[in-house]
Structure 1
Amino acid sequence: MILAETLLFSLSLIDSGAILFLLVYYIITLSDLECDYLNAQECCEKLNYWLLPKYIAHSFITFLLLLHGQLILFLLNLPMFIWLTFEYFTIPQGNLGAYDPAEIHNRGQLKKHLRDVMIYIGYYLIFFFIYLYCFILALLKGDPIKRYADDQIITEM
């Protein structure tokens, strides 16, 4: 056991919460592009900047769960890790990133990106609540409150 379970799940909560905020930023930026408040160059530059931090954050959660021995949660996080790795390392030659300003309006790429971000939000929202449940269980497992019989007088906390 590398970390205490409470610390593990609190880090997972913070990390998945940060990714959720980042994905909300993605939705806002893509909808600004759709409504022509941003041009394609600015939008893609903003979104491509946050691809690597999102990948690192999810990789951190995945490897932390593996190192701690939480195999079920690791196996549930593994498909998203594989997908994000595939997405990050298979950027077509000549594109500026996963979000390319020359292609974002072609062939429904904008709708595809919006759909993908909504799927990511659903995934991370589910896992945020799973981590919250595991965090609460880890807090209660140690039973920090000493329970005595009703007839005893408690003199210390």
Structure 2
Amino acid sequence: MQIDIGIADADRKEIAEGLSRLLADTFTLYLKTHNFHWNVTGPQFNTLHTMFMTQYTELWNALDVLAERIRALGHFAPGSYHQYGELSSIKEEPGVPNAQDMLRQLVEGHEAVARTARSVFPAAEKGNDESTIDVLTQRLQIHEKTAWMLRSMLA
């Protein structure tokens, strides 16, 4: 059935492609954060273990919001490791870094997600897609704040 929500087909496609990159970054950061939650050690164990759980839970919940926005635009959301690997700007961590390196990687990850979210704004603005703009704004606020909080632990 034809979609007629006031956003041109080409604009919906461009926005969905940007949101797919954002979904891939979010999933990759979710997986990295959950990995670090399981494997963190050291004197800050309890603090970091608890903080990482809060962060991966927030990221997990964001995945559904992003995927459902892509679907509302009439496109299929990526949902495989292969697709995420191709779309994500965040690299996986194959090992178990120390707690300080975990914090650094997560700062870099949240900053990368913020950059990806920011890159989708022009297409959403061009398409007059206020719903996507709202999602992007909320994601930016969360990732910028989380990066700041993680960065503060490295000072």
- TM-score, normalising length from structure 2? 0.47
Of structures 1 and 2, the one with the larger relative CO (CA 8 A, separation 6+) is 1
TM-score by length of 1: 0.46
Q: Which has the higher helix share?
A: 2
